[in-house]
Chain A
Amino acid sequence: MPDWLKRKPVLGENAELAQSKDAPLHSLRYVVFDTELTSLDHRTNRLLSVGAIAMQGPSIHLGEQFYRVVNPQVSIPAESIVIHKLRSEDVEGGELLAKTLDDLRQFIAGAVLVGHFVDIDLKILRKEMAETGHTVDNPAVCTARVHHWVLRHGLYSEDLHVQLEKLDLPTLAKFYNLDAQDAHHALSDAFLTARVWQKMLYTLQAKGIDNLRKLLKFGGA
């Protein structure tokens, strides 16, 4: 069992974190995560897989990763299978949702969540967790929103309006000079997002955004 699983979440830990908004961004623990869903219809969709990786400030801890495939116990529409490549057969051996969510709650305890368009991921997590009477109260940062802010507070460029419209992960990866691979795999997307976030932290620092309070004004979910 990985060490982080041995950690028992302390009640109110995430709430406390929300209060430490003056702590330097470089000193916080982050969990960068991504989810894959049965569909994009938020009324009916279910969680299929979740991938996450931990960071201590800008340092990506390669061993502290989380990846689970859940058996959603519903059929997966063909149009989403072509995106995430998870067929019903692939998820049959998947974990029960409750177990995945329990472990995930421990993994994210005390961390600031980071995701690309993190609202979508938070929404599904909260929906799924609500069934077992839990919620997600960690502060959360959206890398797409941060990027939007960075572009608007950067040097003016001719095609700024074009850039502001294209906020998908591969575009960001290219912007930050990173190689993308295995898109739409929850863990590799989380890893790529982490690498984007790592560089963003330095960009933000250079622009005077040095604590959570300042960051959440424009980058929060």
Chain B
Amino acid sequence: MSSSSESVVTGTVVSFLKNIPPFQFLSAAELSRLAGSMTLEFFPKDTVILSAGHPAAESLYVVHKGGVKLFLRSQVGKQLVLDMRSEGEIFGLLSIMSKDLARLDVTAIEDTLCYCIPAEQVQRLISSNAEVANYLLRTSVTRYIDRSLQELRTQTGLMGDTERLLYSLSVSDVPGVPPLLCKQETTIREAAQMLASSKATCVFVVDAAGVAVGIVTDRDFAEKVVAQALSLELKVTEIMSQPVVAVEANERLFHVLLAMVSRNIHHVLVTQQGTPAGVLTAHDLMVLQGKSPLNVVRFVETQTNVQDLAAAQTRINGLLPLLLREGAKASHVTRVVAEVNDRLIGKILQFAEAKIGRAPVPYCWVVLGSEGRREQTFKTDQDNALIYEDSEDEPKAREYFAQLAAFVQDALATCGYPPCTGNYMASNPRWRQPLQTWLSYFRAWITEAELHGTEDALIFFDMRPVAGDFSLFQTLAASVRELLKGAGMFKSVLACVSTMHKPPLGFFRNFVLERSGEHKNQLDLKLFGTGPIVNAARMFALDVGVEPTNTGDRLSALTSKPDRDPAIFQDMKEAFEFLTLMRLECQLHQVRDGKELSNYISPDALTHLQRSLLKEAFRTTTRAQALIEENFRTAIWSQLGR
């Protein structure tokens, strides 16, 4: 009587939960038992359910009716909505996993009913049901970390770096070592010798099919062989520990930690479709904390030839996913890339001078375009030029710098930076000139803008010195700033170029909604995303003589100019940060999937949140372009009327 009648209450819960992942993986009996431990809570609209920094949730919340929003509060008190959850969706998992403090604010956006599952029941489910664990840890945690936190990159210090890494990285992101394998017939002595002669701390015993059936660690030798005085000629199977705890390479690193902690073990086998592929130790997890771009810089500094230097790019590209997932801001990531590339060029120039001798006159190696702005992503080619001091013996200088530029171009190509398709390289004699010639180039671009390909010359206005005698660059830059003080026509051309690519309106279903009303399947994040902001920032910066070339720096400098409203520059900076991050993320996935790098993104790959943030970024860009048109209108008209 009692069990069937209990279903009146718990039955409603069971019938609700059985259609909701991950509870659908549970049997009716398990669901019924779970329902008995749950509570039903009601939160009137605007109730604060969880509050960041306050004690963590004691339950996992399943929204039954209504909806909640998850948000972060920035240091200035601004709400950053990360996500909304409605009927059948869960929240509070990260909070109960972290145990101490809630990570996010959660507020009911309408009258909301939630079923609450006590934390200890959730823990029990995770440890007893692999499917539930997979779903909860992978889907939910990934949803939080991968999408939300990576998208927003707040500086509020939501988690410690290590904790964040564990949640966000997959096993394959960590460079593990190949596992040491031995057969079941191997003797204890042979296994001990294998261990002794390698850096490994464990040996996996595999069967005929190559499946790991046991593990032998130092501890087994100490506790079983030495302590029990076993014969070394016995088979290794006598002392191996079972079962082997293995994780697939695509699992979250968090699983490794979970396995290590829950079973008190120090070695976890990494498999690829069941085949042993690597081993992760507790030590590896600790070393994660020490991952640093400094190591790459140090690596560059200590190399002695171009061939060895080539590994630097692989290293830095390997570091980017880590940095990104670690929560580094996009602008920091691109700066790290620039720093490494700068060091690389410096090193290559050292090699060049060692080979072909010292330069006859001082020179300055400069980089252009995105490299000049310190905004390179994965896709990086050579954009550089060379300025040398005006010389008495011009043919000799020309001869020397031709050799130097050729050496650098080859070396960079060896290191994985393909030559520039537009031939904007010092190896092109046009872009390898004495200071006087450079001055005449800029004078022509600025004073006779309508006659020259100013649009193409734009990358030269993002010039930045990286090696050699910086005073050459500084002399040139000072002259350029002087020339820019008037230059109405130049600015009109610049304004025209800067507002040429209008960002789309937003999205309509799975299309990019263009201003024309036309729909496109894909969005070019560079052409319509970061590009227009770069151009607008350059426009404003050159207009008032802001020196830095980095878009973020330009915008920061502009916010402190008294005659301009700083809000637009602040918004542009945030929009640029977000768009760059999207580009990086997008390329990160392309790299991982072995695809050709591009800046295209399909709307259907975007989360709801990404869409709304993109739309916000487009709106900012549109405002900036309107401001440019307003400020340089007459100039643009005269330009158009030409």
A contact set with B: CB distance below 8 Å: 51, 53, 56, 58-63, 65, 67-69, 93-94, 177, 181-182, 185, 187-188, 191, 195, 198-199, 202
B111 at the interface (CB under 8 A from A): yes
Q: Which of B5, B36, B40, B111 contacts A187 (CB 8 A)?
A: B5
CB distance from B114 to the nearest CB of A (A): 10
B294 at the interface (CB under 8 A from A): no
Do B1 and A59 touch (CB < 8 A)?
Answer: no
How long is the Cα–Cα vector from A82 to B111 in the complex, in angstroms? 36
B97 at the interface (CB under 8 A from A): no
Supposing A59-B41, A198-B40 touch, asked if A69 and B1 sit within 8 A by C-beta, the answer is yes
Q: Which residues of B contact A60 (CB under 8 A)?
A: 39-41
Do B9 and A61 touch (CB < 8 A)?
Answer: no
* Interface pairs A-B: 8 shortest CB-CB: A63-B36, A60-B40, A67-B5, A188-B8, A59-B39, A187-B8, A198-B42, A191-B9
B186 at the interface (CB under 8 A from A): no
Q: Which of B1, B2, B35, B44 contacts A62 (CB 8 A)?
A: B35
Do A67 and B39 touch (CB < 8 A)?
Answer: no
Write the B130-162 contact mask toward A (1 if CB under 8 angstroms, else 0): 000000000000000000000000000000000
Do B40 and A65 touch (CB < 8 A)?
Answer: no
Supposing A67-B2, A69-B1, A93-B1 touch, asked if A188 and B9 sit within 8 A by C-beta, the answer is yes
CB distance from A130 to the nearest CB of B (A): 26
Interface size on B, residues (CB 8 A): 21
How long is the Cα–Cα vector from A62 to B35 in the complex, in angstroms? 7
CB distance from A122 to the nearest CB of B (A): 22
Q: Which residues of B contact A63 (CB under 8 A)?
A: 10, 35-38
8 A Cβ contacts from B17-50 to A? 35-42, 44
CB distance from B108 to the nearest CB of A (A): 11
Do A65 and B9 touch (CB < 8 A)?
Answer: yes
Q: Which residues of B contact A94 (CB under 8 A)?
A: 1
How long is the Cα–Cα vector from A62 to B39 in the complex, in angstroms? 5
Q: Which residues of A contact B8 (CB under 8 A)?
A: 51, 67, 182, 185, 187-188, 191
Q: Which residue of A lies closest to B37 (CB)?
A: A63
Supposing A67-B2, A94-B1 touch, asked if A58 and B42 sit within 8 A by C-beta, the answer is yes
Q: Which of A67, A69, A177 contacts B6 (CB 8 A)?
A: A67
Do A62 and B36 touch (CB < 8 A)?
Answer: yes
Q: Which residues of A contact B6 (CB under 8 A)?
A: 65, 67, 187
How long is the Cα–Cα vector from A69 to B41 in the complex, in angstroms? 28
A-B contact pairs, 15 of them (CB 8 A): A51-B8, A53-B9, A59-B116, A62-B36, A62-B37, A63-B37, A65-B9, A67-B2, A68-B2, A69-B1, A187-B8, A188-B8, A188-B9, A198-B40, A199-B42
How long is the Cα–Cα vector from A56 to B116 in the complex, in angstroms? 13
Do B10 and A62 touch (CB < 8 A)?
Answer: yes
How long is the Cα–Cα vector from A51 to B10 in the complex, in angstroms? 13
Q: A59-B40, A65-B10 are in contact. List 10 more A-B contacts (CB 8 A).
A: A51-B8, A58-B42, A60-B40, A62-B9, A63-B10, A94-B1, A181-B12, A182-B8, A187-B9, A198-B40
How long is the Cα–Cα vector from A67 to B7 in the complex, in angstroms? 11
How long is the Cα–Cα vector from A202 to B43 in the complex, in angstroms? 9
Q: Which residues of A contact B39 (CB under 8 A)?
A: 56, 59-62
Q: Which residue of A lies closest to B35 (CB)?
A: A62
B13 at the interface (CB under 8 A from A): yes
Q: Which residue of B lies closest to A49 (CB)?
A: B5
How long is the Cα–Cα vector from A185 to B111 in the complex, in angstroms? 27
CB distance from B469 to the nearest CB of A (A): 73
Q: Which residues of B contact A202 (CB under 8 A)?
A: 42, 44
CB distance from B13 to the nearest CB of A (A): 6
Q: Which residues of A contact B12 (CB under 8 A)?
A: 181, 191
How long is the Cα–Cα vector from A177 to B5 in the complex, in angstroms? 24
Q: Which residue of A lies closest to B116 (CB)?
A: A59
How long is the Cα–Cα vector from A187 to B37 in the complex, in angstroms? 17
Q: Which residues of A contact B115 (CB under 8 A)?
A: 62
Q: Which residues of A contact B40 (CB under 8 A)?
A: 59-60, 62, 195, 198
CB distance from A171 to the nearest CB of B (A): 19
Q: Which residue of B lies closest to A64 (CB)?
A: B36
CB distance from B575 to the nearest CB of A (A): 40
Name which of B36, B41, B42, B44 has the most chain A CB atoms within 10 A of its CB: B42
Q: Which residue of B lies closest to A198 (CB)?
A: B42
Write the B110-129 contact mask toward A (1 if CB under 8 angstroms, else 0): 01000110000000000000
CB distance from A154 to the nearest CB of B (A): 15
How long is the Cα–Cα vector from A59 to B12 in the complex, in angstroms? 17
Q: Which residues of A contact B37 (CB under 8 A)?
A: 62-63
Q: Which residue of A lies closest to B38 (CB)?
A: A62
Do B111 and A177 touch (CB < 8 A)?
Answer: yes
Q: Which residues of A contact B111 (CB under 8 A)?
A: 177
CB distance from A3 to the nearest CB of B (A): 11
Q: Which residue of B lies closest to A91 (CB)?
A: B1
CB distance from A118 to the nearest CB of B (A): 19
Q: Which residue of B lies closest to A206 (CB)?
A: B44
Q: Which residues of A contact B41 (CB under 8 A)?
A: 58-60
Q: Which residues of B contact A59 (CB under 8 A)?
A: 39-41, 116
Q: Which residues of B contact A65 (CB under 8 A)?
A: 6, 9-10
Name which of B5, B8, B36, B116 has the most chain A CB atoms within 10 A of its CB: B8
Name which of A53, A56, A58, A60 has the most chain B CB atoms within 10 A of its CB: A60
How long is the Cα–Cα vector from A177 to B40 in the complex, in angstroms? 15
How long is the Cα–Cα vector from A195 to B40 in the complex, in angstroms? 9
How long is the Cα–Cα vector from A185 to B9 in the complex, in angstroms? 11
Name which of A63, A93, A191, A195 has the most chain B CB atoms within 10 A of its CB: A63
Q: Which residues of A contact B1 (CB under 8 A)?
A: 67-69, 93-94
How long is the Cα–Cα vector from A187 to B2 in the complex, in angstroms? 11
How long is the Cα–Cα vector from A149 to B71 in the complex, in angstroms? 38
How long is the Cα–Cα vector from A68 to B9 in the complex, in angstroms? 14
Do B13 and A62 touch (CB < 8 A)?
Answer: yes
How long is the Cα–Cα vector from A9 to B516 in the complex, in angstroms? 75
CB distance from B22 to the nearest CB of A (A): 19
Q: Which residue of A lies closest to B36 (CB)?
A: A63
CB distance from A199 to the nearest CB of B (A): 6
How long is the Cα–Cα vector from A61 to B118 in the complex, in angstroms? 11
How long is the Cα–Cα vector from A51 to B6 in the complex, in angstroms? 10
Q: Which residues of B contact A191 (CB under 8 A)?
A: 8-9, 12
Q: Which residue of B lies closest to A189 (CB)?
A: B8
Write the B379-401 contact mask toward A (1 if CB under 8 angstroms, else 0): 00000000000000000000000
Q: Which residue of A lies closest to B41 (CB)?
A: A59
How long is the Cα–Cα vector from A133 to B41 in the complex, in angstroms? 38
How long is the Cα–Cα vector from A65 to B5 in the complex, in angstroms? 10
